[in-house]
Structure 1
């Protein structure tokens, strides 16, 4: 401790718990955050719930290093907490004690459901609720996976499948798997290894990783130990304050040896109502009324939760006409559009090639609009109404992947790659980096088994002949191509 630093007693800190005078302890330092309350992206209530006490455990997993320095003036730091004044408590088993028990051997976990079950037991409840939650009644989340069970496989025999190659190319980069880690926020909520642990796991399999705009580590930290040739993408949520997004794009541009593309997320211009996540916001909140906010603080929808906090400030005014030209001014990296739900928007995306190199068919893992169609439906729509899209841009999908058979079915329908988000987070929660490695190991092995039993040696050989989609095709959109607003249908092919 520096000689000039003031020691402040815990009892003194406990007096400052209102919007007029709010102190918190972080990493042993005492901060006066009163003036910052209305500026906090998650709202003042989140901080006021932690006022007058040590907030490090809640703060650390969701804030990358440097956040304090960026948002608080130096004078906000009042001194150090006097360790002699902190009451020693004994209670139920702590998280640290629970960690000491250790996870089960990763090789004993045979599928992604078992990994999720272990993660649920080991992670803090707040982390589980954020990862697991989906919007409203979670119908879309459940259906994302259920629909794959409605697609049947058509194995061929008398085919030499001794060798099985799961490698492919994405945006011109060779990767070891047709499986990528989709942008998954707040990884350190579930385990200290965080996004960097996911990156190290991906390196073992040559898998691509898209790093979340809301990662709990800085992009520099995540890619610090990257393997030679390892491929990363950066997810972008455009902010109302465009300068913030422009600064992040500039930062990513400077790391283009690692970041090969930008994923512009479109499927969540507003946060979904994730009730499991929001419920966490009311726990241990007896000191603060649920509707409290400072006088100059904008209103926030819903009950809060990590999801609501992260989305506050996200722009909802993006358009084809304005946003893509704006992006072109600030980066020449390839653009991947995440959150395409319909064949019409896939068609429009293809018309913006070569700036747009790929789309990710996604409904945000069921976390935005409940009862939205699963990505498999959109794949079938594209095949039916505008199959030329597959030749113009790459089509990726995410949502609902639990088995290697799910991966193969998506690839057979024309997807170039399949993304997993929750699976990576639950792998992390189950065993840190080793848990993510086990997750990818299971998916790779199951994918190889499925390919061999279909009589396929390479992912490029997969096609509609390997699956029966009759049950699913009955339910896809049947309202016509709807592309006449982009030109006469008989001229569509030439326009692409």
Structure 2
């Protein structure tokens, strides 16, 4: 793993990095990175739910070796931790999303580039290693020609291996911190617009997510997307077992799903990814055999990463963590964030008596406390199956 500036090594956890970044960034940047909708209940729950899962260590196991290499969409990555699409990185540091990419390159980590990045996709992948893995987040525009033109550009960038179609924000949640500081963001290429007094590019002066299409459907939207790219699709923002099951019926186009409530930024009291993982395990575990399941939201510790992997996730995403790391120390700050999580993940695995990610499973965790909170009503799976059969 790459070395970093000594000043960054003084940070021992992600909360310390966030605290340091908060003291540096502008009020607008803090509001955008920190904000979540309404009362921030989902944002807090994303982290708290991991604390409710207990670990079950095994002893007398040779744990000298610990391998955290894995595959995401059949692409090799060195760690199961990826960077979720996190917008407007240059609000925190001039190196922006390209700086995050540099840090990911050092760790062999996947980065999903935000549709609302503060740099062009071409700039972000320009310094990529030959085997570096990127995804592109897509918010479908009301004016589909704009999305089609962007897809044409993405199709030409060999470093970008898939499209992350984001579905959990058909409209924007009420983010009061953003509203107080006048933050706005457009899904229409904001990197082409205004600058602040320091010369850092800011979002366009449009209503939040102006131009986003709220009329997406399984059949129409996936059919439209297939006409404009051959890249595999990962559906971001799945929050129920029914939707996870429906996604699994759309292979081979859909290769994976990301269980996410948009970092608590869209619908407050929406479930954390852990709840959706447990729902899938209860109602339709076959989903794990058909498509890859990733998660994001609330990841603060390596133990959180391990618990998600034990529940069947293949990739574990951080969004705010990368932004706070960048704001605290540029590229070195993101490296330190990834280093902390990687080291904690390895330590947790060793203490569990596990040598590789493939060995992790539900036998290593106790989720009984969380299971009391997951959905226990009628499942809509039969209706999903009947509807799908009717369309064949």
Question: What aligned pairs does 1:355-366 form with structure 2 within 5 A after superposition?
Answer: 355-366=253-264
Q: Distance in 1 between matches of 2:351 and 2:58?
A: 8
Q: Tell me if the contact between 1:271 and 1:308 (Cα under 8 Å) persists in the aligned partners.
A: no
Matched, 1:393 2:291: yes
Corresponding residue for 2:367? 469
Corresponding residue for 1:487? 385
Corresponding residue for 2:216? 318
Give the CA deviation at 1:482: 1.8
Q: Distance in 2 between matches of 1:456 and 1:238?
A: 42
Corresponding residue for 1:238? 140
User: 1:203-262, CA deviations, whole angstroms, 9 ceiling, x for partnerless residues?
Assistant: 01000000000000000100111112000000000000100000000100011x200000
Structure 2 unaligned spans of 5+ = 184-202
Corresponding residue for 1:267? 168
User: 1:127-169, CA deviations, whole angstroms, 9 ceiling, x for partnerless residues?
Assistant: 1110000000000000000000000000001111101011100
Matched, 1:147 2:45: no
Question: What aligned pairs does 1:348-387 form with structure 2 within 5 A after superposition?
Answer: 348-387=246-285
Q: Tell me if the contact between 2:167 and 2:237 (Cα under 8 Å) persists in the aligned partners.
A: yes
Corresponding residue for 2:331? 433
Give the CA deviation at 1:307: 10
Give the CA deviation at 1:484: 1.2
Q: Tell me if the contact between 2:242 and 2:384 (Cα under 8 Å) persists in the aligned partners.
A: no
Alignment partner of 1:472: what SS?
A: helix
Matched, 1:413 2:311: yes
Corresponding residue for 1:20? none
Matched, 1:455 2:353: yes
Q: CA RMSD in A?
A: 1.8
Give the CA deviation at 1:436: 0.1
Matched, 1:258 2:156: no
Q: How many residues align?
A: 367
Alignment partner of 1:432: what SS?
A: helix
Give the CA deviation at 1:480: 3.0
Q: Distance in 2 between matches of 1:448 and 1:355?
A: 33
Q: Tell me if the contact between 1:130 and 1:307 (Cα under 8 Å) persists in the aligned partners.
A: no
User: 1:398-439, CA deviations, whole angstroms, 9 ceiling, x for partnerless residues?
Assistant: 000000000000000000110000000000000000000000
Matched, 1:181 2:83: yes
Matched, 1:160 2:62: yes
Corresponding residue for 2:92? 190
Corresponding residue for 1:330? 228
Q: Distance in 1 between matches of 2:55 and 2:37?
A: 31
Corresponding residue for 1:121? 23
Going from structure 1 to structure 2, the CA distance change for 1:306 and 1:128 (only over 3 Å counts) comes to: farther
Q: Which has the higher contact order (CA 8 A, sep 6+)?
A: 2
Alignment partner of 1:444: what SS?
A: helix
Corresponding residue for 2:73? 171
Q: Distance in 1 between matches of 2:377 and 2:222?
A: 29
Moved over 2 A (4+): 305-310, 486-489
Q: Tell me if the contact between 1:187 and 1:215 (Cα under 8 Å) persists in the aligned partners.
A: yes
Alignment partner of 1:271: what SS?
A: coil
Q: Distance in 1 between matches of 2:18 and 2:322?
A: 10
Q: Distance in 2 between matches of 1:469 and 1:242?
A: 43
